[in-house]
Amino acid sequence: MLTVGHHLYLSFSDGSKFYPDYMTNLVARQTNTLLNGIGYEASVLPHPDEASMKIIINGKYVARVIEGCNALSIIILFLSFIIAFSGKFKTTVLYCFAGAIILYAFNLIRIVILSAGLYHYPWRREILHNVIFPMLIYGTVFLLWMFWVNRFSKSLKSNA
């Protein structure tokens, strides 16, 4: 259901008000705010050739924020697991909410650090973008899952 909802969200996001879609636009703008908050002269601009937002630091184009960077698909993955191994209703809802917030915030911090890293170490692009930062975000999801299963899930307790 969550994946279908995400697909519908994407199909109805025409980009007329928020380019390329609302969540990607929001993540790019929040990244910009955080980068400026830690001392970089940053800006974000819509990419003219593709559905993404360009991150510019001190006049240098360092990265782009695409739909896959907004953490929605990771949050859907997280929520699906928690719901599949649900516990008490209230606990499940609260953990889903808290976990989604943690993943969203962690993803923002990840993009900020990645952007700053790409600004300072552009020759490390492949390892930063394709190895280290995906490992961190998926590692966080895994740790949240393990905490859930070991502390709250009914499925594990009913089999014991």
DSSP for 28-87, please give it: HHHHHHHHHHTT--EEEEE-SSSSSEEEEETTEEEEEE-GGGSSHHHHHHHHHHHHHT--
Instruction: Say whether pLDDT at 15 is over 70.
Output: no
Mean pLDDT of 68-84: 92
**Does position 67 have pLDDT exceeding 80, yes or no?**
yes
> Any idea where the domains of the chain sit in the sequence?
2-159
Q: Give me the sign of the Cα torsion angle 61, 66, 70, 73.
A: negative
Beta strands 42-46; 60-65: pairing state = unpaired
Enter the pTM of the model.
0.87
Q: Residue 5 pLDDT more than 90?
A: no
Average of pLDDT values for 65-94? 92
Mean pLDDT confidence for 139-143: 95
pLDDT tens across 103-124, in order? 999 999 999 999 999 999 999 9
What is the length of the chain? 160
Burial of 132 (0-12, 13-18, 19+ CB in 10 A): middle
Q: Residue 66 pLDDT > 70, yes or no? A: yes
**Confidence check: pLDDT of 26 > 60:** yes
- Where does the pLDDT of residue 11 fall: very low under 50, low under 70, confident under 90, or very high at 90 and above? low
